[in-house]
Amino acid sequence: MAIPILLIPGLNCTAEIYRGQLPALWHFGPVTVGNHTQGASMAEIARSILADAPPKFALAGFSMGGYIAFEILRRAPDRVLALALLDTSARPDSPEATEKRRAAVALAEQGKFTLAIQQSFPNAVHPDHLDNADLKSLHIRMSKAVGSETYIRQQQAIITRPDSRPDLAGVKVPTLVVVGDADAITVPEAAREMAAGISGAELVTVPKAGHMALAEQPEVVTTAMVDWLERLQTE
């Protein structure tokens, strides 16, 4: 049975963030990468993605993509066959995170978007990967493709996102939670919270990975997602 798969990128990310997973995932069925550049709130972005999504799909969201995935679940739970939450959180934005986002938005509004991108990279990867030229190039390339105007709107949507923790117990589909062991943005504790709150959820902690685990350790994340989809096929 073919399983349509809907992947949602994170903040300042394009479809390329899933480059390490796509070759394995397409064996299960048609893969769609949701366009999360339309809208200034989680509700608007989710509505836009759902309009172009397959009737039913296995849903995976990375970082901001996870926030959107929760919104999709609230709006169209009957369309979601399975859920993968990749380096994300069900929590609302903390005051400290919001302050940092607003400072980054201010840079972008002042025409210093490149500086905002460069400043965000060290927090996005494992300390061992700070000098990884390929990861740094990917980070900058995707950010420039998204652009400063979309970045500002996405940050606003993240700041105003709802608390999804009350929704965890209502998730009834096979769920995978993945987190880098050194994720400093959506911390491992937040991943454990989601896995504990969703009945039957599997938690995979990726060694030597930060927030960008799916790009830092693509083989580990791909294996976890393949196992997740194989479980869905057998249910």
- List the CATH number of the domain containing 84: 3.40.50.1820
β-strand partners of 205: 179
Tokens 């899933």 belong to 18
Cβ–Cβ under 8 Å, residues 39 and 49: no
Q: In total, how many domains does the chain have?
A: 1
Residue 132 in any domain: the answer is no
Residue 211 in any domain: the answer is yes
Cβ–Cβ under 8 Å, residues 227 and 199: no
The whole-angstrom separation of Cα 17 and Cα 15 is: 5
Residue 81 in any domain: the answer is yes
The set of long-range contacts for 164-169, using a CB threshold of 8 Å and a minimum separation of 24, is 164/67, 164/70, 164/90, 164/91, 165/90, 165/91, 165/193, 165/197, 167/70, 167/73, 167/74, 167/90, 168/90, 168/194, 168/197, 168/198, 169/197, 169/198, 169/199
Residue 29 in any domain: the answer is yes
Residue 123 in any domain: the answer is no
Residue 103 in any domain: the answer is no
Cβ–Cβ under 8 Å, residues 207 and 183: no
Six-digit token string for 75 = 């709006």
Residue 83 in any domain: the answer is yes
Cβ–Cβ under 8 Å, residues 211 and 87: yes
Residue 105 in any domain: the answer is no
Which residue range forms the structural domain that includes residue 208?
5-93+156-234
Residue 200 backbone zone (phi > 0: left; psi -120 to 50: alpha; other: beta): left
Ranges of residues in the chain with a pLDDT under 70 are none
Q: What is the pLDDT of residue 234?
A: 82
What average pLDDT is seen over the chain?
97
Q: What is the pLDDT of residue 1?
A: 81
